[in-house]
Structure 1
Amino acid sequence: MKILTKSILFGLLLVSCYSLKAQDTKQTEYLSKIGVVDSLFSEVLNENRKIYIQLPENYNQNNSEKYPVVYLLDGEILLPTVANIHNFYSGGFMPEFVLVGISNAKHRTRDLTPTKIKTKYGMPFNEENGESKTFLKFFESELIPYIENNYQVTNYRTLIGHSYGGLFVVNTFLNQTNLFANYIAIDPSLDWDNQHLLKEAETKIANLNLKNKALFMSLSGQLHMQNSAITINNVM
């Protein structure tokens, strides 16, 4: 399974140099062509959350074969890229897996950031934020059970996120280590709330059971991100 995570990570380095863009109609049409557009009403979030699912070529809901599952934050934006990477590495170079893209279009900052802030870079910050604990509860109690009950997947899980999504990945790694086997953080926004997660990592890392767990991080040219990532690398 190390091949799976390393191959996905290599491909996602292509993504890390670009900003996330808003979803449009063409993107939705493309997602529906390459996989399944599903949705789940969340009692935890009190809203309907759209999910995009890419299935292996030989996937059959009626047979006994099950696949590892990769959960991708900002799925409405990043899923086509990851799906194309998977297709590129197909043919024995990379294990088949079920790819689940979660939409974060409406409440991205709220869902993916771990603590509440009122200022950012010295300026007032009024966007709803700091509720990743609730979003993680949605993952654990609703999304993962839904996927495992309705699709042919194993409990071998990988979580991928970019920017705020990467921040959510690192936060989940620190606080719900057993939920996933692999954590891939692309340009994680570790500068959030005066590097709150880095300070948390200093006290938590030593006490975590990291057997059979993997955390991968990638960086682009943003210096403030690099400094944060270098710090967490020293902690680990």
Structure 2
Amino acid sequence: MNSLKPLHFKFTAILLLICCSSLFGQKLAPKERILAPDHTITSTITGKDYQLYLSFPKDYSTKDSISYPILYVMDGQINFSTIRGMRTLFDLGPLIEDVIIVGIGTSNWIVNRYQDFTPSVNTSEDEKRKGMFKSGGAAKFLESIKTEITPFLDKNYKTNADRGITGHSLGGLFTTYCLVNSDGYFTRFGINSPSLWWDNEKVLNQAVTQFTENKIWDLPQTKVFISVGDQESSSMVPTMMKFSKYLEDSNYENIDLKWKIFDEENHISVFPASLNKTIYTLYGKK
């Protein structure tokens, strides 16, 4: 009998190895996580559907009369997961003011942002895209925000007239356009990696003219944060610096300006850092 024990142990060990190998070989498939918009607004101005992704202060309640500032974030469907994570961390402090954050997105993201975020028609850029993209729709998109999206949110949620806007890349160009042509509708601006090279720097040149020729800018108290990554393309850093410098030198009493160049960040990698800094700069508690 003793001579059979080694064989018994060997058989048991082999069986265990086979079972373990089978278990470890069965990999789990990742769960599908769907980020769904809270609302979809059909614009009669632009002819597009806009998806709204909403993030609320943790104490938001329909049972009180408190109203909240609102921050619009461009490219909402891409950015909202980052926003949601940041909100959770900021609420641990709490580090920021109570603010409703609204990501604005579209289903045909690449095509629609190219049109909605560009303030002028750039024929040479349109031709590069072989007619699939049409630029120059910023004025209509801004009108849609003012006359369609904001009234919808004001009707259904506890918003107030303290409005901010932020965007990255072409979204940063659009936010710059909103600032340069500001009528006080927005009072907080996050301009990140702005594509100020657009259309031979048309918006940048308009800004420089305005900042140098107008010693007074009749706006309500306004906060502006501008950023770029130091490893972005050669067209990005100098234009951002030029815009920031001229705005800074204008020394407008009603403009609270802060700007930052992020070290070792490129056009894509800089995004989470710039959005985080935008929210904290524009809404951070003293």
Q: TM-score, normalised by structure 1?
A: 0.80
Is residue 2:281 matched to residue 1:231?
Answer: no
CA distance in 1, matches of 2:32, 2:52: 17
Q: Does 2:43 align with 1:37?
A: no
The answer to whether 1:149 aligns with 2:155 is yes
Q: What residue number does 2:105 align with?
A: 103
Aligned to 1:119, what secondary structure does the other structure show?
A: helix
Where 1:46 maps in the other structure, the secondary structure is: coil
- Equivalence for 2:73: 72
Pick from 192, 200, 207: which aligns with 1:201?
207
Give deviations 1:156-181, integer Å, cap 9, x for gaps: 11101010000000000011341111
Q: Which amino acid aligns with 2:158?
A: Q
Unaligned runs of 5+ residues in structure 1 are 1-24
Shift in alpha-carbon separation, 1:63–1:232, aligned structure 2, 3 A: same
Question: For residue 183 of structure 1, what is the aligned residue in structure 2?
Answer: 189
Instruction: Report if aligned partners of 2:121, 2:136 keep a CA contact under 8 Å in 1.
Output: yes
Provide the C-alpha distance between the structure 2 equivalents of 1:77 and 1:51, rounded to a whole number of angstroms: 12
Q: State the distance in 1 between where 2:178 and 2:32 align.
A: 32
- Structural mapping, 1:103-142, within 5 Å: 103-104=105-106, 105=109, 106-120=111-125, 126=131, 127-142=133-148
Deviations 1:46-73 (Å, cap 9, x if unpaired)?
A: 2322111112222222421221111111
1:104-161 Cα distance to aligned partner (Å, 9 max, x none): 4151100000110121499576321111001011011111111111101121111010
Q: Distance in 2 between matches of 1:165 and 1:194?
A: 17
Give 1:43 deviation, angstroms: 1.4
**Taking every aligned residue pair, what percent have the same amino acid on both sides?**
25
Instruction: Tell whether the 8 Å contact from 2:53 to 2:77 is kept in structure 1 after alignment.
Output: yes
Q: Which has the higher contact order (CA 8 A, sep 6+)?
A: 1
- 1:173 corresponds to which letter in structure 2? L
Which secondary structure state, in structure 2, belongs to the residue aligned with residue 224 of structure 1? coil
Structure 1 residues 152 and 124: alpha-carbon distance in aligned structure 2, compared to 1, 3 A threshold: closer
Q: Aligned partners of 1:197, 1:26: CA distance in 2, in Å?
A: 41
Question: Radius of gyration: which is bigger?
Answer: 2
- Distance in 1 between residues matched to 2:227 and 2:38, nearest whole Å: 29
CA distance in 1, matches of 2:46, 2:56: 26
Measure, in 2, the Cα distance between the counterparts of 1:122 and 1:139. 28
Report SS of the residue matched to 1:129: coil
- SS of residue paired to 2:52: strand
Gap regions ≥5 residues in structure 2: 1-30, 248-286
Extract structure 1 runs of 4+ deviating beyond 3 A.
120-126
TM-score computed with the length of structure 2 as normaliser: 0.67
Helix, strand or coil at the partner of 1:57: coil
1:87 aligned residue: 88
* Residues 23-34 of structure 1 aligned to structure 2 (within 5 Å): 29=34, 31-32=35-36
Q: Is the 2:226–2:244 Cα contact (8 Å) retained in structure 1?
A: no
- May I ask how many residue pairs the two structures share in their alignment? 207
Secondary structure in structure 2 of the residue aligned to 1:178: coil
Partner of 1:8: none
